[in-house]
Amino acid sequence: MEVRRLPDLNRRVWQSELAGLDFPSQGDAAWSAFEDISTQLAAKHVPPEIWESLAELSESRGVLVIENLPLDAPLAEPPRDNFRPAQKTAVSEAVHLGIVRRLACVFGFQEEEEGSLFHQIAPKAGLENSQSNGGIVPFKPHSDDAFLFRQHRPEFLSLFGLVNEQSAPTWVFPVEGILDQLSREVVEQLQRPDYRHTPPQSFFLGNADLGATLHAVVERPENAWEVSFNSVRTHGIRTGAEAALAAFREALQRAPHSEVVISPGTLLIFSNLRHLHGRGAISGRRWLQRLYSRRDLSALRADSGVAAPGLVFPAERLVAGYATLV
């Protein structure tokens, strides 16, 4: 894990230049203009060494933390639902988007978090004890959207801190650290499509038929391990598969990992394909904003029928097509 810090002067000037910027509706010309100004200001105020670290992240698909970024002042109260507070200024979104767009293209799913690109990660009314981003109990290690095939899952996950009163930690587990503790036979079993993955609670299913999907827990495309796993939503469909998954869960308890406190003005970016993540229990107020991104959206566009410049994709349509892709 690499940690970079934005100089104080850069932060102050960047924040002043974001004053009065409005947050746009998705899918209209205003969104394109917002993205343009966000990336222009990020290019102006982020020093070269941070861009170099971001370029290295693109290749290594590792973990990067950037601290001391501009933050809304004053800040709205954390939401208790999926919606961005209407009175919030657009500072965090412009900073977050401006940095991530240098790495990849942002996107979202129609059924998840009300179809928003920016996800509001805060305790949600009625979900406090759930294994979801709306809970306050410890959130077990998982990949985001593990039920989707690798060409459709978020490639990178980024989390921007707005509030974290009691410094709840986020844990990031590289897949190699888990697999190094397993036998070759177990790793081979985990590569078979014998695992049922169900959608997370962050998906609003409504009338959508988003059933479970079948695919491997680990894969090795392009000579690098990738992982697709959710501690409570991934299960083996055969005895051997479930036994291998039990060994994987035990290895995960011992696996080396990074611990990050996503404080206000801190951005955590990591590969969702090569890492699992979780967090500790939450007390007090906590509010992060999340973006999904991929370097290439072509598979999402081809398999969903959503043409450019659309950035929100129907997961129902993607899952329906998996029978022809297996």
Alpha-carbon torsion 203, 1, 123, 78, what sign? Answer: negative
Position 116 scores a pLDDT of 93
Q: Is 31 helix (H, G, I), strand (E, B) or coil?
A: helix
The residues facing 319 across adjacent strands are none
Q: Say how far residue 265 (Cα) sits from the centre of its chain.
A: 17
User: For residue 287, which of 126, 201, 130, 161 has the smallest C-alpha distance?
Assistant: 161
- pTM reported for the whole predicted model: 0.95
* Rounded Cα gap, residues 290 and 122, in angstroms: 11
DSSP string across 187-254: HHHHTSS-EEE---TTB--TT-----EE--SEE-GGGS-EE--BTTTEEESSHHHHHHHHHHHHHHHH
Q: Does the domain spanning 2-325 belong to CATH 3.40.190.10?
A: no
Positions in the chain whose pLDDT score sits under 50? 325-326
User: For residue 23, which of 11, 33, 13 has the smallest C-alpha distance?
Assistant: 33
Position 322 scores a pLDDT of 87
Pairing of strands 156-164, 267-271: antiparallel
* Rounded Cα gap, residues 98 and 278, in angstroms: 25
